[in-house]
Amino acid sequence: MFSKILIANRGEIAVRVARTARKLGIKTVAVCSEVDVYALHTTECDQKVIIGGALPSESYLNGRRIIDAAKDMGVEAIHPGYGFLSENAEFAALCEDEGIKFIGPSSRVIQAMGLKSSAKVIVEKAGVPLLPGFHGEDQSDKTLSAEAERIGFPVLIKAIAGGGGKGMRVVDRPDQFLAALSAARREAKNSFGNERVLLERYIQAPRHIEVQVFADQHDNYVHLYERDCSLQRRYQKVIEEAPAPALTEVTREAIGETAVAVARAVGYEGAGTVEFIMDEDFQFYFMEMNTRLQVEHPVTEMITKEDLVEWQLRVAFGESLPKQQDEIKLSGHAVECRVYAENPARDFLPASGRIEYLMEQRDGGAAVRIDSGVQVGDEVGVFYDPMISKIISWDIDRQAALSKMDSALKAYHLAGIQTNTNFLRQLISVPDFNNAEKEPKNLNTGVISRYIESVDQLYKPLSAQTVALFLVFELKGTCNRHNEPDISADPYSPWKQTDGWRLNRGTNRIFKITCDEKPYEITLNITPKKMQFTLGEVHYELSEWSFDAGQIGVTVAGSVIKGFVFEGESGLTVFCDGDTTVLTRSRFDLDVNDESGNSLIAPLPGHVRQVLVKKGDTVKKDEAVVIVEAMKMEHTILSPRTGKVVEIYYSEGDQVLEGAELLALEEDQP
CATH classification at residue 171: 3.30.1490.20
pLDDT of residue 657: 75
- Residue 134 β-bridge partners: 199
In the chain, the percentage of residues whose pLDDT exceeds 90 is 70
CATH assignment of the domain containing 515? 3.30.700
Total residue length of the chain? 670
What pLDDT sits at residue 605? 66
Instruction: Identify which has the larger pLDDT, 165 or 132.
Output: 132
| Residue 650, in any domain of the structure | yes
pLDDT at 511 over 50: yes
Residue 566 lies in a domain: yes
pLDDT tops 90 at residue 503 = no
Average pLDDT estimate for 129-141: 94
Residues 23 and 79 in one domain: yes
Query: Are residue 188 and residue 298 in the same domain, yes or no?
Result: no
Predicted local distance difference test score (pLDDT) of residue 494: 45
Categorize the per-residue pLDDT at 641 as very low, low, confident or very high, splitting at 50, 70 and 90: confident
10, 169, 207, 292: which is the annotated catalytic residue?
Answer: 292
Q: Is residue 14 part of a domain?
A: yes
pLDDT (mean) for 420-432 = 96
| 225 and 317, same domain (yes or no) | yes
Closest C-alpha to 423, from 458, 448, 399, 447? 458
Q: Is residue 448 part of a domain?
A: no
Would residue 196 show up in a list of annotated catalytic residues for this protein? no
Same domain, 242 and 167: no
379 with 249, same domain: the answer is no
Q: What pLDDT, on the 0 to 100 scale, is given for residue 585?
A: 82
Residue 172's pLDDT is 95
Average pLDDT score, the chain: 90
Q: Which pLDDT score is estimated for 289?
A: 96
Q: Are residues 481 and 468 in the same domain?
A: yes
For 83, which DSSP code? S
**Structural domain contains residue 441:** no
Q: pLDDT tens, 97-111?
A: 999 999 999 999 999
CA 513 to chain CA mean position, Å: 25
Structural domain containing residue 398: 332-428
- Residues 447-481 have pLDDT tens digits of 999 999 988 777 778 999 999 999 999 887 655 54
Is the per-residue pLDDT at 531 higher than 60?
yes
Give the pLDDT score at 479: 55
Q: What is the pLDDT of residue 64?
A: 97
- Kindly state whether residues 614 and 546 are assigned to the same domain: no
Q: Could you give the percent of the chain with pLDDT greater than 70?
A: 91
Spatial distance between the Cα atoms of 391 and 609, rounded to a whole number of angstroms: 48
595: pLDDT strictly greater than 80: no
End of a domain among 378, 409, 428? 428
Whether 589 shows a pLDDT value over 60: the answer reads: no
Residue 183's pLDDT is what? 92
| Residue 32 maps to a domain | yes
**How far is it, in rounded angstroms, from Cα 402 to Cα 12?**
22
Q: Provide Rg for the chain, Cα atoms.
A: 30
Confidence of residue 648 (pLDDT cuts 50, 70, 90): very high
Q: Which of 517, 551, 585 lies at the terminal end of a domain, its last residue?
A: 585
* pLDDT beyond 90 at 602: no
Q: What is the pLDDT of residues 226-251, one digit of tens each?
A: 999 999 998 899 999 999 999 999 99
Q: Which amino acid is at 279?
A: D
Give the C-alpha separation, 563 to 374, whole Å. Answer: 24
Mean pLDDT of the 25-46 span: 97
**Residue 514 or 207, more confident:** 207
Cβ neighbours, 10 Å, residue 542: 24
Contact 88, 109 (CB under 8 A): no
Q: Does 92 lie in the same domain as 8? A: yes
CA separation for the pair 289, 291 (Å, rounded): 6
pLDDT band at 646 (very low <50, low <70, confident <90, very high): very high
Q: Is the peptide bond before 154 cis (omega within 30 degrees of 0)?
A: yes
Same domain, 189 and 220: no
Residue ranges of E strands in 413-498: 413-415
Region 402-411 average pLDDT: 96
Give the residue from 166, 201, 236 where a domain finishes: 201
The helices-and-strands tally (H runs, E runs) of the chain is 17, 39
Give the number of domains in the chain. 6
Task: Check whether residue 113 and residue 262 sit in a common domain.
Answer: yes
**Separation CA 341–CA 350 (nearest Å):** 6
CA dihedral 489, 495, 500, 505 (to 10 degrees): 170
pLDDT of residue 633: 56
The answer on pLDDT for 493 being more than 50 is no
pLDDT, position 482: 46
Residue 471 included in any domain = yes
Neighbouring C-alpha atoms within 13 Å toward the C-beta of 646: 15
- CATH code assigned at 81: 3.40.50.20
Looking at the fold, whether 120 and 244 belong to one and the same domain comes out as yes
pLDDT at 365 over 70: no
Query: In whole angstroms, what is the distance from residue 196 CA to residue 186 CA?
Result: 10
What are φ and ψ of residue 285, in 5° steps?
-140, 140
pLDDT (average), residues 508-520: 86
17-34, pLDDT tens digit by residue? 999 999 999 999 999 999
Identify whether 439 is part of a domain: no
CATH of residue 356: 3.30.470.20
User: What is the arithmetic mean of pLDDT over 566-573?
Assistant: 90
Burial of 234 (0-12, 13-18, 19+ CB in 10 A): exposed
pTM reported for the whole predicted model: 0.83
Same domain? 468 vs 563 = yes
- For the ranges 146-150, 161-165, 293-297, 503-507, the lowest mean pLDDT is seen at 503-507
Domain of residue 660, CATH code: 2.40.50.100
Q: Is the pLDDT of residue 650 over 80?
A: yes
